[in-house]
Amino acid sequence: MLPPVELIAIDIDGTLLPSAGADVTGRTRQALEQAREAGIEIVIATGRRHRYATPILELAGQPGDTTMICSNGSVTRRLNGERVDHFTLPLETSRELCGVLRPFGGTVVFTFDREGPGEMVLESIAAVHAQIQMWVEANRDALLEVSPLEQAFDDGAEPIQGMICGHVKAMREAEDWLCSQGYGAAVEMQRTEYPSRDLTILDLLPPGCSKGQALARLATRRGLNAGQVMAIGDNWNDLKMLEWAGRAVVMANGAPDLLLQAKERGWQVAPGNHEDGVAQVLETLVAERVAAMARPLEKEAEVAT
């Protein structure tokens, strides 16, 4: 018998959020609250940086002490901004990546753990990949143009994350090339892929950083083992936390190849994000937890009679 789930790590885009809209649904909001009331800790694990994810969770009524694994694991903070973990890419590696990524034709962005213009740096907003224009508009107040991009590190600040966005084929070629040239030891590569949009975001993180590593560190602090943790996600950047957690859940709307892998590994496949899939998983867990807590009381009552 599996141990009860004490902590659930939930991705945002494609998982917690419906594909259409920027707000958590009422049913999902209620399910999150019920899970907390039942004693299950809710952790958010997202590729978004902290400030970009915060408004969604505040609108969803999440408490300020909610733990957020951000930037695919390079930063962990509370919703209220309190820092838990923080990792950066070395300056030399960051500068080198600027040059080696240019031939792949994508948009290269570096993210820093600071607020305001310069939180994210790129060479040209006008030349940004067409399929991330909506993202650009949503983050324009944080973007700063620096050309050449190598000069973004002249102040000595180390980024928490680099990324290159572009067509699926080109980004897979970029990842393969980086691995073949030994960059796998210098950066952790996490891919988020949207085949229907022909868009891939290849994140370049400090070595050893991933949602899985961040989740494992957090669980250790809580005195929990993997068997007491559930992870819910929809894309390849969720893979390491899905592999680490004792109970892995992949959304039905997830990346096709990831869904195939989920079925091969016997992972749970939840209804899609357009069907409140996260809420359905949480509702089932809460019902199981309530039933399990009631059994000892029922036995005591039987003995007493």
Return the H-helix or E-strand segment holding 122.
strand 120-122
Higher-confidence residue of 281 and 300: namely 281
**Boundary (domain end) residue, out of 173, 204, 235:** 204
- pLDDT given at position 292: 82
Per the CB < 8 A criterion, the answer to whether 162 and 47 are in contact is no
- What are the beta bridge partners of residue 108? 164
Q: What is the pLDDT of residues 114-166, one digit of tens each?
A: 989 999 999 998 888 777 888 888 899 999 999 999 999 999 999 999 999 99
Residues 165 and 216 in one domain: no
- State the average pLDDT for the chain: 93
Q: How many helices (H) and strands (E) does the chain have?
A: 9, 14
In CATH, what number is assigned to the domain containing residue 124?
Answer: 3.30.1240.10
- The model carries a pTM of 0.93
* Cβ neighbours of residue 139 closer than 8 Å, sequence gap 6 or more: 52, 120
Q: What is the pLDDT of residues 160-185, one digit of tens each?
A: 999 999 999 999 999 999 999 999 99
Residues 75 and 104 in one domain: no
Q: Is the pLDDT of residue 299 over 70?
A: no
Residues 198 and 131 in one domain: yes
Q: Residue 174 domain-assigned?
A: yes
**Boundary (domain end) residue, out of 185, 204, 223:** 204
Number of domains in the chain: 2
Residues 23 and 115 in one domain: no
Mean pLDDT across 249-254: 98
Q: Is the pLDDT of residue 301 over 70?
A: no
Give the whole-angstrom CA distance, residue 208 versus residue 5: 26
**198: containing domain:** 91-204
Residues 218 and 278 in one domain: yes
- What are the beta bridge partners of residue 1? none
Residues 98 and 196 in one domain: yes
- pLDDT given at position 157: 96
Give the whole-angstrom CA distance, residue 133 versus residue 122: 13
Mean pLDDT across 73-90: 97
In CATH, what number is assigned to the domain containing residue 50?
Answer: 3.40.50.1000
